[in-house]
Chain A
Amino acid sequence: MGRARTLLVSAAVVLLGRRKRKPPENADRVVPKLPPNPGAEAVAIGLLFLAALFAVAFVVVYAVDSLPAHTQLLGLTLGLSLLAIAASLIVTAKKLVATEELVEPYTPDEHPGEQELLVQVVEESGDRLTRKRLFKMGLGAAGGTLGLAVLAPALSFGPFFQTKYYRGTPWRRGRRLVDEHFHPVRASDIEENGFYAAFPEGLSLDGREELGAGVVLVRLPVHALRLPPELHGYDAGGIVAYSKICTHAGCAISMYRAPLFQPDEPRPALVCPCHYSTFDPADGGSVTFGPAGRRLPMLPIGVDAKGYLRAKGNFDDEVGPTWWGTRIWKPSP
């Protein structure tokens, strides 16, 4: 009780004291004088304590493992704490401090005198130089070459002048085709209207990430094949293998429109889901729709004595997205 009374008394003293020292109403003030707004002040203070409460709640939620929906509660408590501070500040801005609309001149458009001085300083500094052009050339030569020299080590990033890498693939004549689980693929495993992925045998998981590794396998009725003469013998009894990488933007061909193509589309198609480039598996992978500018490279395959699929060579064309050096193979009409 005694402490409370002391507090009350001192509060009264403080309030009275403030009144006494109140500066006279005059124009000396920088910020205009406005009357107090106890209601708004109470709201602003209340919101700050609310923010503190939510901040404590955030720590509690963080510490208590058994709470379900951790992420939601964490976001809610932290978000509301920040929003309470925001609300308090907005109340302060709108109700508790003076919003003065002041006018002042824009900075001058130009400083002609200063400009002249600057020019003078630069010009006079070079007075002693007699061969300015040569000096400038020297500066340019030194700066330019040094700049290039400093940039040169960036060439270590990778082979800038060698692009032969784009043409290699891990496929060789005689390599068996294996599925995602490293099991060799038999010709009899490949069914019509099915869609299969295969890789060369003996490749590690990292090796499979190479763009030239993956192929798609589909089986078409032999009579439905319309391979151009150059690609004759590329199929293994109706089974055709194409690069899995779209020639447009390098995404994986992961959709086979068969038999769902009817009645909207005339025939089965291999589709890339990125930009819907669509390729015809029956005629050597020609583009039937979408932005791809080049057909899908085809892998020649055959069936060995035990019924396994084997590559008969490398792709007929460059695998992967097209670049400015890609040589195009054009099937004869």
Chain B
Amino acid sequence: MVGDPDLEAEPVIRKAVRFLDTRTGTTPIVRKTLRYLFPDHWSFLLGEVALYAFMVLVATGVYLTFFFVDSTHQVVYHGPYAPLAGQHMSEAYRSVLNISTTVKAGLLIRQTHHWAANVFVAAVILHLLRVFFTGAYRKPRELTYWIGVTMLMLALLEAYIGYSMVDDLLSGMGLVIGYSVGLSIPFVGGNLMAWLFHGPFPGQGVFWPRMYILHVFLFPLLIGGLLTAHLLLVAMRHHTQFRRRSSQSEHAVMGVPTWPGQAPRSLGLLFGTAGVLFLLGGLVQINPIWLWGPFHTYASTNGAQPDWYLGWLIGGLRLVPSFDLTIGSYTLVPNPFWGGAAFPLLVFGFLYLWPWIERRFSGDHAFHNLLERPRDNPIRTAIGTGVASWVVLVFIAGASDRATVLLDVPYTGQIDVYRVLVWVLPLVFAAVAYRLCEELQAAERVQRDEHEAEAEARLART
């Protein structure tokens, strides 16, 4: 006999709720959480995508740790991939070759992990742009913003370490560049790198286990902890909102409750993100390390590019003209410092200091729950556009060698042009953005006046 679902289901839920309440006393919190309001605007999903990509990264990453070997001990390859047969390579590189060739589903998980890293960083950057250009970082949400910027920095480092420890030719070239940038820091660089690598690069092989523990434990722990703090702060202060309905104000927030409205959407986005990432991991090749070959300090290859989120740094390194800052016959500031260290420090310094700079100049110390559209604040939009286009231009300049191959434009000429453009164009873009904001505002004023005039005319007629 089939039981009556209504008669059975209800007591089960009631029993479960009573059990939870009597044992944990958390029913009020759970009920509040279920009815917590979520924003209903597409741009708020970017941060969520980042969170879900991070989850996929952790899941696929844990799987990969069971097969990766963090050693630069040199071995001879005798695996199934014929083109590398008999070659000398590190155990680290051989283990990743094995993940890609002999471990069942290994290549799927590895490629999905790499794709997830790309999507993670992209989502974080888009999320940052949304927050910046709408002024969402303003009081009382500066802490949330600073934690977010910190997570972006950690994510870049984490991703860089991740592809560096594979020890294929490209990752080795990237690592020695990172080493040289560290080395170029005035007064401490030499000591710092000798300390980290145990002597000059590649050191005594100690750096690979160090990268490994950083990549699979310390950095994920840091990012996970900051992520939790970030989300808690968002929940404590509630989300910001555009003013689209009259019920939305600085004092009243509108949104969809977690249950039943938001939960299936968010879970849908989680499964959607994971689904797309696994499709990419299975169908679209990424970082085919077997083609790059093993790394040796005395080997390199032309046409090498880092993953896209570090493209702005290779651009910075390539654009700086030939000079070291010296005193007598002693070097003070070696060349890579400017493009590889000073440039990103400046960009992140700007991001960290911006809320403070803006408040300093606008004198605005008020609470802000309502967002501004980019046009509502032309100065912020102009400055943001200038800084963003500066970074993007340096990124494009870093790809000059690809343009040489594709379009047959001489490389040296391109670099000369970019050395001017990266300083001039951001100013132009900033000015254009400022003007555009003012024009949009003016157009809105005209429209509003017309509406009012029409209304008055109607009123006069009646």
Contacts and interface: CB of A to CB of B under 8 A. Distances in A.
A100 B35 CA distance: 10
B314 interface: yes
Contacts of B181: 249
Nearest to B247: A103
Interface stretch (A91-99, A116-124, A143-151, A225-233): A91-99
B296 interface: yes
Interface stretch (B12-20, B326-334, B378-386, B431-439): B326-334
B193 to A, nearest CB: 8
B84 interface: no
Contacts of B462: none
Nearest to B269: A86
B30 to A, nearest CB: 14
Contacts of B237: 106-107
A101 B40 contact: yes
A90 interface: yes
Interface stretch (B42-50, B149-157, B301-309, B440-448): B301-309
B349 to A, nearest CB: 21
Contact of A163 (B186, B190, B415): B190
Interface in B301-344: 301-304, 314, 317-324, 326, 329-336, 339-340
Nearest to B318: A275
Q: How large is the interface on A (under 10, 10 to 19, 20 to 34, 35 or more residues)?
A: 35 or more
Contact of A252 (B35, B279, B298): B298
Interface in A97-144: 97-107, 109
Contact of B296 (A73, A155, A208, A249): A208
Q: How large is the interface on B (under 10, 10 to 19, 20 to 34, 35 or more residues)?
A: 35 or more
A170 interface: no
B218 interface: no
Given A86-B275, A323-B331, A158 B199 contact: yes
A208 B298 contact: yes
Given A17-B6, A79-B276, A293-B334, A329 B194 contact: no
Interface string A195-216: 0010100000110111101100
Contact of B176 (A93, A251, A322): A251
Contact of A80 (B176, B185, B275): B275
B271 A291 contact: no
A75 B112 contact: yes
Interface of A: 6-7, 10-11, 13-14, 17-18, 21, 30-31, 62, 70-76, 78-83, 85-90, 92-93, 97-107, 109, 155, 157-163, 165-166, 197, 199, 205-206, 208-211, 213-214, 244-245, 248-255, 264, 272-277, 287, 289-294, 320-330
Interface of B: 1-2, 4-6, 35, 37, 40, 74, 88, 104-105, 107-108, 111-112, 140, 173, 176-177, 179-181, 183-203, 206, 210, 236-238, 247-248, 250-257, 260-261, 264-265, 267-272, 274-283, 296-304, 314, 317-324, 326, 329-336, 339-340, 367, 369, 401, 410-412, 415
Given A157-B210, A328-B326, 5 more contacts: A6-B2, A21-B6, A76-B279, A93-B268, A104-B252
25 contacts: A14-B6, A74-B282, A75-B111, A79-B279, A81-B275, A82-B272, A83-B271, A86-B269, A90-B265, A93-B265, A100-B261, A101-B40, A102-B256, A157-B196, A163-B194, A166-B190, A199-B298, A249-B177, A251-B177, A252-B298, A273-B304, A293-B323, A293-B335, A321-B334, A323-B334
User: Top 8 closest A-B pairs, CB basis?
Assistant: A75-B282, A293-B324, A82-B275, A79-B279, A89-B268, A214-B298, A83-B275, A321-B180
